[in-house]
Every structure is written in C-alpha cells, then in structure tokens.
Structure 1
Amino acid sequence: MTTSTARRGRLIQVARSALVIFFAFPLLFMFVASFKPDAQIFADLGSIKAILPVGDVSLENYRGVFDRVPAARFLVNSVLVSAVTVVLGILINSMAAFALSRMRWRGRRVVLAAIIATLIVPFETFALPLVWWVNKLPWLEIHGFQLRLTEGWLDTYQVQILPFVANAFSIYLFYQYFTSIPVELDEAARMDGAGWFGIYRRVVMPLSGPAIATVAILTFLPAWNSYLWPLMVVQSEELRPVMIGIQYFFQLNVSWGQIMAYASMITVPVLVLFVAFQRAFIGSIASAGVKG
C-alpha cells in the first residue's frame, strides 16, 4: 500500500511538472526570443535552441522598443490606471458587498440577484452606449486657480478608470467571503460602540485578506490587458496604455524580436503581482469552493 501511494505521488508530480512545462513554454520562448534578431528566431524554431539563449543574443530588441514606441510612458499610464482601478475597486466593491451581506434591509436579495445577472452581459454589447454616456458626463478641471466644469471624459485618465471600478464578480466574491465571517463579531463590536463603518473597517476588512488579494488580481488583469476600450476613447499618445502599443510594431517593418521584447516587458508586472499574492489568491478560491 505504501509503495502504491508513493508511485501515485510520483506520477502526480510528473504530471504537474509536465503541465508547468506546457504552460510555461510560450513564456519561455517569448522571453528568450526577445534577445535574438528575427533571422535567429526563425532559424531556431525547429530545434531546442528556440527556448535556449544561444547564438546572436543581445539587448538590441529592447533598445529598439524604446526607439519605436514611447514604452516608458505607456507603462506609466498602465500602472497608474491599473493601480487606481484596483484601489477604488476594492473599496467600492467591498462596501457594496458589506451592505449586502451584513446589513439587513428590504430588497437586498433582489439587488444582489440583479448585480449577479449583469455578469452574463458581454462588454461589447454596451461599449458603444457607454462611449456616448462618458462623452456627456461632466468633470471638474483646474485651470490656474479656478475650477471649471467641462463636458465629456474622452481622452482622459478617468474614462479608463471609473467605468470599471464597480464590478459584479468582485462584489459577489466579497459577499461570499463576508458571509463566512461570524456575525457575532459584529455584535461584539456594536457593544463597544462601533457603527456599521467601524465594523467594516475594524472587523470585516482585516479578516478578508485572501478576498482582497483575489479581487486585486482579478481587477488588475483586465485593467492591465485593456485594449478595446482605450482604443475607442483615447486618442492622445501620452494617455495610451501598454496594450495599445502592440499595434505600433505591426506598422511598416514588422520586427518580431522587438514584439517579443515588448511583450516580455508588459508580462513581467502581471507575473510579479500573481507571485506576490498567489497564496492569498489560492486560499480565497479554496475557501469559496469549500463554502459553496
């Protein structure tokens, strides 16, 4: 029995290793190819050299990226948009979930059902109406020492952030996690004089680290990978995110080495974020699965 269990364990490890190699292969190829010229990339495709840093290896493709597109500006824009979206998303969605899960008021189940129902509506169906609405919304701008009310959010940072702060899946994930926290903690806090916001800030949120990490990752990914929406609402080059920069490399002379270098640059922040929060992310998903 022990031998059978050990053999099963080895088979599981081999299967896991094979899956890791299978899913990591495209990333490894992309990263290695980013250091090679186009001729070397195509010459190595039929051999193991495709994933090995051998041959004519240099940083020329990375230098070419910054010569071809304002990559640094695009990266700053995406970091800004993604970070603000994540922070506001955690705040707004967690407060909405708190009201739905901890407070008792008439119609909250109907509201929750309506929020969940929006998950089945694809973004493409309301993208054009959303463009029309954001072009009509007012905004306060500072000119010198005066505030001026303007109309339209097109070609701004806020049009890339605010429409995506509230998210139905994030609200539902927070809702599921909040319902697993004992209500008795709320009652104890109320006896100490805490109001609803005090319970939210001092009791519920400090216990919701895994849910916060999960929502942070799931909010960051679409914000970082956003392509269609910025393409529709952002015209100024100084406001564009990193994904829009990909189309620059398919104009005139296509350089696959530079494309791989640019793709590597915009993939690293996503990998770093996931590695930093992977334990909390997996813990949150596992706890939701056990509860559900």
Structure 2
Amino acid sequence: MAQIDPSNRGLRLAVRYAVLVLIAVIFIFPLVFMVVSSFKPDQQLLSDTGSLRAFLPVGDISFDNYAAAFQRAPVRLFIFNSVLVTAVTVVLSLLVCSLAAFAFVFLEWRGSGVLLSIILATLIVPFETIAIPLLLMVNQLPWIGFDGLSFGWLNSYRVQILPFVADGLTIFLFVQYFRDLPRELIEASRVEGASWWMIYRRIVMPLAGPVLATAAILKFLVMYNQYLWPLMVVQEETYRPVMVGLQYFFQLNRAWGEIMAYLSLITLPVLAFYFVLQRAFISSIASTGVKG
C-alpha cells in the first residue's frame, strides 16, 4: 500500500483550513460592521463606510446609540415577545412534528402515505398565498381564557404561535431521520411489551438529538424573523416582536447608529441560541455514536 507523504497531507490540511477561515471571515464581516457601527455617530458611520475603518472601533466611540434606541422604542419588550413566541413555538413544534413523524414511520395505518404526500406538498405553497384566509380564520376562532369565552385571536401571543406549530419541513426532517433508525430496536421493544409512547419517549427521541437540533435551529430562525404575519395580526405594542419593532427606527428622524444598535441587540438571542444548539448537536452526535 502506498504511503501518503506527510508533507503533502499537511499542505492540503493547511489549505483547507485557510479556505474555511476565509469563508468564516467573509460571513462574519457584516456582524462586525453592525456591532462596530452601533458605537459610532451617524456622520462618522457614513464617512467610514468607504474604507476599512467601517470594521474598526476607531473615532468617536460611545454607547449613545444604545441609550437612544431604548428611549425610542421598548426594545426589552420586543425582544421578550420574540424570544417567548419563538421558544414556545419551537418546543411545541418539535413535540407535535416528531409525534406525527413517529406515526408515519413506525405505525401502520391506511392513508398514511397519501397524507404524508399532502403534507410535503405544502412546502411549495408560499405563506403569502394563505395569509389572508388564515387571518380571516383566526379572527373568528374561539378562545377560553381567564376572562371567559371570547372570539378572535388578534393581538395575542397565541395568534403568533399556534398557526406555526406544525409544518411540512419539520415533519419531513423527522420522517427522514426516523426511517434511518434500526427497526430491530422497535421490534424488540414491542416484543418486550413496551407501548408506542414508551418507544417514542425512551428509545426514538434519545437517539434523535441531531435532527432535534437541526429542526430547532431552522424553526427558531423562521419564527424569530417573522414580520408579515405579526404585522397583520398584532396592532398593540404589547405583543409586537422585534422585526415589527424595527419600524420605530425608520420613522421621522432616521438614525443609522440607533438602527445598528437595535440590530445588534436583537441579534444576541439568535447567536446565543445557535451556540447552545451547536454544542447540544455535537454532544448528541457523540453520545449517539457511543450508544450505537
């Protein structure tokens, strides 16, 4: 067997890491520009855009833009609303879609293939085509709350959460992952007398760490960046998410420094969620590999 030259192998590895670092730098430049610009006054921010100074914290640096952003809009409230809506939707979506995928893959029932095909067909339907019918429907739906029975879901958290709990993409991800699991585990569990709920909870889901992290990240990005639907169904400031709150900074006196400060603040939950899920994704892959 021919031996690989260690010098050639080291060169290829160095080139590979150099390309990866270059790609990472290209993707991180907009974030660096956003954060650095958030500390500069508007005049300096605009003058620095034509040079590398746009990516360097030089000149008149201060936290004035952040203070002005909190004065112009209820930033804390908007971030809280988006994080709450997104977190609840992600948790419910993972539960509902994983249960649906489990039923499609492991349970035998008539019409499952046709229903799964219909669900997957919804992936080609843009949300804009169903936005108006969905708006008319949620405006008439009943809800039982602490103050009794009421009709209409507008201006609430539920109208931003419940319509997006189940979606075709998340179900598809779980179905594809569950199909790759060894059927011997399921059959052996059934022979031992385990119920379907026990198989789902104790066997399938502990092995589903990678797809859980992937689906959670995709769902988080979609929900956190929601703009059109909250703009249609939320008129009260109490329930507005961060993307709708961005309108506050384009009214009257437009200040680009404040806009950059606001964007930096609303990006923090996204980065934190991504890094947490990334670590969970890596650890779940490692633990799955050890168990297998």
What is the TM-score of this pair, normalised by structure 2? 0.92
Shift of residue 265, structure 1, vs aligned partner: 0.7
- The answer to whether the Cα contact below 8 Å between 1:214 and 1:284 also exists between their aligned partners in 2 is no
Structure-1 residue corresponding to 2:204: 204
Q: What is the CA–CA distance in structure 2 between the aligned matches of 1:258 and 1:229, rounded to whole Å?
A: 25
Structure-2 residue corresponding to 1:102: 106
The unaligned stretches of length 5 or more in structure 1 are: 286-292
Q: What is the CA–CA distance in structure 2 between the aligned matches of 1:237 and 1:55, rounded to whole Å?
A: 36
Residue pairs, 1:98-247, within 5 angstroms: 98-143=102-147, 148-247=148-247
Q: What is the CA–CA distance in structure 2 between the aligned matches of 1:184 and 1:2, rounded to whole Å?
A: 43
Residue pairs, 1:272-287, within 5 angstroms: 272-278=272-278
What is the TM-score of this pair, normalised by structure 1? 0.92
Corresponding residue SS for 1:194:
coil
Which of 67, 71, 83 aligns to 2:71? It is: 67
Shift of residue 55, structure 1, vs aligned partner: 1.2
Cα deviation 1:243-265 (Å, max 9, x = unaligned): 11111101000010010000011
- Which amino acid in structure 1 is aligned with residue 240 of structure 2? R
Shift of residue 32, structure 1, vs aligned partner: 0.5
Which of 4, 24, 30 aligns to 2:28? It is: 24
- Which amino acid in structure 1 is aligned with residue 118 of structure 2? A
Structure-2 residue corresponding to 1:10: 14
Structure-2 residue corresponding to 1:288: none
Shift of residue 190, structure 1, vs aligned partner: 2.2
Shift of residue 60, structure 1, vs aligned partner: 0.8
Corresponding residue SS for 1:40:
helix
- The answer to whether the Cα contact below 8 Å between 1:177 and 1:211 also exists between their aligned partners in 2 is yes
Identity %: 56
RMSD between aligned residues: 1.7
- The answer to whether the Cα contact below 8 Å between 1:34 and 1:61 also exists between their aligned partners in 2 is yes
Shift of residue 282, structure 1, vs aligned partner: 7.7
Cα deviation 1:152-204 (Å, max 9, x = unaligned): 11111100000000011100101111111112212222233321111111111
Q: What is the CA–CA distance in structure 2 between the aligned matches of 1:65 and 1:281, rounded to whole Å?
A: 35
